[in-house]
Amino acid sequence: MLQSIFNGLSSLVNHQRALDVTAHNIANAEVSGYSKQRVNLQNNFTRRDGNHEIGVGVHTHSVTRMHNDMLFDRVLGSSSNNASANEEFVHLQRVEETLVGDGLDGNTMGELTDQFFDTVQLLSSEPDNLALKANVKATGEELIDRAGRLNNVLNDYKSGVQEEKDLLMAEAQGYLKEIDTLTKGIQEVEAFNEFPTYEKSHANDLRDKRDLLELKLSEIGNFQSTEGKPSDYTYSFDEKGGRLEGITNSLKGINKLQDTFNEKFGPLGNAITDFIDNNMENLNDFLQWNYDNQPAKNINDTFIGFSSQVDNLGNTASSTEAIMRGLQAQNDKETKVNLDEEMVNMIRYQRAYEAAAKVIQTSNEMLKTLIGMKR
């Protein structure tokens, strides 16, 4: 009967622990990054009674979190890819808006080039008209000035993007320091798990916090980690992924755009300057140069090609986001708290707790009966 009391007591204590874990899950149901936890109960070692093995109750072997390492690694990879594609798309889309005039409050470079040669065409019909000459001069100078302002705007934008990159690197360094601190805490909690022990300790909440930081780092850059035993956790972080990669690619894209634009506009700017400095003589030769070289078309083609690149980036960003959301949904299905499931578990553990209490109560009454018989 004493053994029955001890068995009932072990059941009482361990199902109370299971209820505590269930309550912890319910309390953290809406906490970002929290993984639901489960109590793993195991029967105690049996004792020999003659020719029989008699059970001696139950114990909590471990409290573990529901976590799929392989799936989580895929989530990290998809998060990094999406952040990279989206960051590059956002920055180059803003540059595209500048190219169509939104960023400089005026017509596009191609439109200004056409307007300039329209004024030159008018002047060719009245070469001595001073008003038309003044208009040609003003339009030409505006076109050259606009090219300079466009380069200045792009340079300023690149400086702002570089500052954003520096801030992201500082943010990442802060997260890495937090990971180092959490890893030490995890190692302290799980230090003896590599040895044969009756019960295992798992730093579930600390691991959730570290996973959340890993996810944030994967959005910023390329974060990789490996773990064998708790003491073997190692990681690496670089700019070959995430927002940092997107920023690097966007800066390359802007530089390429500037180089191509200056290559196309340079001859036009020189031709306009020479034409104005020579008092707008040789009108027919200048118009023929425009016909042969098609500067407006070349400039427009540059910007059209850039816009096409931005459209492709938008499609890539949408595609990577869909993949990321799909993987996150799979991961959430495995890790997030399901309140209906927790309610069912709570009823199960409550019933087991009540049954254990009944075992103790019954055994106690039987013991009292025996004691009463002796008296």
What DSSP string describes 209-270?
HHHHHHHHHHHHSEEEEE-SSGGG-EEEEESSSHHHHHHHHHHHHHHHHHHHHHHHHHHHHH
Q: 290 is in which domain, residue-wise? A: 70-334
234 and 95 in one domain?
yes
pLDDT at 296 (0 to 100): 87
Looking at residue 48, what DSSP letter applies? E
Q: What is the model's pTM?
A: 0.85
Query: Both 89 and 76 in a single domain?
Result: yes
The verdict on 242 and 202 lying in the same domain is: yes
Could you say which residues of the chain have pLDDT below 50?
Answer: 102-103
Same domain as 300, residue 185: yes
On whether both 234 and 128 belong to a single domain, the answer is yes
State the number of CA atoms in the 13 A half-sphere of 187 facing the CB: 14
**Neighbouring residues of 366: CB distance < 8 A, sequence distance ≥ 6:** 1
Write down the pLDDT at residue 102. 44
Are residues 50 and 111 located together in one domain of the fold?
no
Which pLDDT value is given to residue 103? 45
Q: Which of 185, 186, 162, 182 is nearest to 174 (CA)?
A: 182
- In terms of domains, do 37 and 179 share one? no
How many independent structural domains does the chain possess?
2
Q: Is 156 exposed, middle or buried (0-12, 13-18, 19+ CB in 10 A)?
A: exposed
Whether 79 and 60 map to the same domain: the answer is: no
Do 311 and 204 share a structural domain?
yes
Give pLDDT tens digits for 193-236.
666 665 678 899 999 999 999 999 999 999 999 988 766 899 99
Judgement on whether residues 62 and 76 belong to the same structural domain of the protein: no
> Is the same domain home to 282 and 358?
no
Same domain? For 363 and 263 the reply is no
